[in-house]
Each structure stands twice: as C-alpha cells, then as structure tokens.
Structure 1
Amino acid sequence: MPTETFFNLPKEKQRRILDAAKKEFSRTSLKEASIANVIKDAEIPRGSFYQYFKDKEDLYYYYFQTVQQDSHRYLVSSIQQANGDLFQGFEEYFKRIVPEIFIGDHALFYKNVFTNMDYHGFRRVAPHLEKNAESCHDKKMERKKHQKVLIDAIDCSNLKVSDNHELHLLLQLLMHTVFTTIADGYRRILIDGSYDIEQINQNFESKISWLKNGARKEKTE
C-alpha cells in the first residue's frame, strides 16, 4: 500500500502517478515493468517515488486495487441476488466482470495481470479469500470485514462444508477458476487474435457445473 505521503499529495498528482502506472503496467508484465518509465511519465523524481511506494510491486498491486475496487461488492451482491447460492452467484459475478476485463478501459492491464499471475499474485489480488494471510493490523481488520460480509451472503445449507476453513477452501477454488478461465481467454487471444466472450462464459459455466455436480457419469444398469 502507498505511504501516507502519497495520500497527502494533491489529487491531480496522485492521478498522474496512477496514469503513469496504467501506461507501464498495460505495456508489459510486472516483472518487466520499469520504474524509470513510471517516474518519467509521472514527472516525479526517483527519490519521490520511494517516498510514496516501497517498490514497483507495491504500486502495481495498489493500482490493481483501484481498478478492481468494486469487485468484492459485485461478488457479494451477485451471491445475495442468487439467494445465497454460491455457485449461481459466481456465475453471475463472472458474467458481470468479463466484459470490463476483456474490452474495458483496462483490458491491456488485465491481460498482463492474468497471463502472468502466480500464487503470490493471487494472494495479493484476492486477500479476502486468504484466511491466514499476513498483514498489518488495519489491513487485517479490513480483510476480516470483507470476509464476514462475503460469508454472511452465502447459504451454506446446501454445501458440503463442515466449517469456515472448508468454506474458505471452496471460495479459493472458485476464485482460482475465475482467474484461470480469464487467463485462458487471454491466451486464446494470443493464439487466434480475437476473443469470444460468449465462449469464455460457457467455459466458466462448464467448470462451475463440474464443481457443483461432479464430472463423473453415473453408471447405468
């Protein structure tokens, strides 16, 4: 997260830094991104950058949070609108976010996020699903608040989970399915040169169906 120094900057300067972050992280992956390009486009000294952020990873994940600030609310509201049905809620959530991810203003950034994500990246972009994630006190309290809101929205009466630990495992599995389906969609773009949102949604629905109902056929007599 940014330092207090960053949040004390004029809004215009904060926006200039985030615009520079968008440009650089839409150009390439976090690993290949250059702080030099960010500070040049933001028109700030290198020393000032390190007064605002610990490193480029710190800026990267903060920028991700700014473009995904409504994601948690979308997931909770989708589950609530499905009357607590976790699987139906995730299907609706996926349909809701996919157009923005593939054709929205941040599509190039999302492409770099999802085609280069590892387990560390998953923990950073979905901290509310990590039950034992380490964080400072304020972040930990905020994460617990998000977890509670999400869990309270779920009707567990039709789920084979015995406690919150197993529910967190299921949530992680579902969110991994969201991320891998999006990543597969972007990889398909690299191969075919185009995307098919309808096919991406169908792929996700198939995966959810297998998770919900099982992929094994019942033997007939």
Structure 2
Amino acid sequence: MPKVTFFNLPDEKRNKLMEAAEKEFSRVPLSQASISNIVKSACVARGSFYQYFENKEDAFYYLLKLQTEKRRGYFFSTLEENGGDIFIAMERLFQMLLADLSNEDNLKFLQNALMNVTHEIEDSFTGLFIGQKPVGGTVEGSIDRISGLIDSSKLNITGDQEFFHVMQILTSVTFRNLVDKFSRNLSNEEAKENFRIEMELLRKGLYKS
C-alpha cells in the first residue's frame, strides 16, 4: 500500500502519478518497469517517489487493486440482481472483464499483468473478492458480503470455512480463464465457452439435487 504521504497529495498530483505508473506498467512487465520513466512522466523528483511508495512493486499492486475494485461493485450488483446465484454472477463478471480487456487502449495494464502472471498477481485478484481466510469460523472481507447474498441452503457446503474454499475455487477458475484468453490467444467466444463448461461442472458438483 502507498504511504500516508501519497494519500495526502492533491487529487490532481496523485492521479497524475498513477497515470504515469499505469503507462509504464502497460509498456513492459513489472520486472522491466522503470521508476525513472514513471517520475519523468509524472514530473516529480525520483526521491519523491519513495516518499509515496516503498518501491515499484508497491505502486504496481496498488494500481492493480484500484483496477479490480472498479469491477467488484459490478459483481455485487449482479449477484443481487440474480437472486444470489454465484455462478451467474461469476459468468457475468467474466464476460464483462473480457469486454474490458479486449479494449487495448484502456486496459493494456491489466492485459500485461495477465500475460506475465505471478502468484502475487493472482492473489491480488482473488483476494479482492474473497478477503482473508476465515479465522475461528469468522468470514472476513468481501466474502462476508457475498455469503450474505447467497442462499447457502442450495449448496453442498457446511459453514464459512467450506464457503471460503468454494469462493477460492471459483475465483481461481475465473482468473485462470482470463490468463488463458491471452496466453493462448483465444477469441472471446472460445474463452466464454471454456469458462461456461467449467462453471457448469462446478455447479453440478456444488448444487444440491
């Protein structure tokens, strides 16, 4: 996470810095990104960058968090609109992400992240939907809201621990299918069909007869 000094910046300067970071992380993978390019584009001193972030990884994962959070609201609203059907909500989310990611001008940063995926990038994606692992039977984070919207009586699960792992499976499958779309150069229709088949198999196993 950025340092307190970053959040104390005027909105214009903060936005300019993040735009510069997104431009650089869209140009090359994180490992090849240059802080010099970011500060030059943002018109700030290199020393100032370290007043706002620990390193370039800190800026990258904060930007990834912002991009994913924009889509989390859509997921929740879709879940509510479809009576808490987690499979419909995940499928709609996947379709929306495909549409967004197909726009190279707007989301080259996310495309680049998916083409150079690491465990940290996957954790950033899934963590924003499921939060932290339950401790002592208590669900924490976004999954708490999700569990409140779902009719768990329809699922072959018992308790928050099992629901947490269900969400881990669903979000991991969603993420992997997004990666496959770009790493295997699949069309949107091919990616949608692969995702639909996997979601249907999971639905059959998780829904009560």
Q: TM-score range by the shorter chain?
A: 0.7 to 0.9
Question: Of 164, 167, 174, which residue of structure 1 is paired with 2:163?
Answer: 167
1:131 matched to 2:132? The reply is yes
| CA positional deviation for 1:182 | 0.8
TM-score calculated relative to the size of structure 2: 0.87
Moved over 6 A (4+): none
Structure 1 spans left out of the alignment, 5+ residues: 134-142, 190-194, 215-221
Q: Name the residue aligned to 1:196.
A: 187
1:105 to 1:165, Cα distance in 2 relative to 1, 3 A: farther
Q: Give the AA of the match of 1:207.
A: E
Q: Map 1:55-94 onto structure 2 (within 5 A).
A: 55-94=55-94
1:146 to 1:63, Cα distance in 2 relative to 1, 3 A: same
d(CA) in 1 for partners of 2:144 and 2:51? 34
| CA positional deviation for 1:66 | 2.2
d(CA) in 2 for partners of 1:124 and 1:46? 26
Q: Name the residue aligned to 2:180.
A: 184
Q: Give the AA of the match of 1:80.
A: E
d(CA) in 2 for partners of 1:105 and 1:86? 31
Over residues 27-50 of structure 1, what are the superposed CA-to-partner deviations in whole Å (9 max), with x where a residue is unaligned?
111122111211111111111101
Over residues 57-106 of structure 1, what are the superposed CA-to-partner deviations in whole Å (9 max), with x where a residue is unaligned?
11011111222222221222222222111112211221222201222643
TM-score calculated relative to the size of structure 1: 0.83
Q: Map 1:96-115 onto structure 2 (within 5 A).
A: 96-103=96-103, 105-115=105-115
1:27 matched to 2:27? The reply is yes
Q: Which deviates more, 171-180 or 147-156?
A: 147-156
d(CA) in 2 for partners of 1:179 and 1:145? 19
How many residue pairs match? The answer is 200
Q: Which deviates more, 97-106 or 47-56?
A: 97-106
| CA positional deviation for 1:153 | 1.3
d(CA) in 1 for partners of 2:189 and 2:81? 22
Identity value in percent:
31
Structure 2 spans left out of the alignment, 5+ residues: none
Q: Which deviates more, 107-116 or 48-57?
A: 107-116
Measured on the aligned residues, the alpha-carbon RMSD in Å equals: 2.0
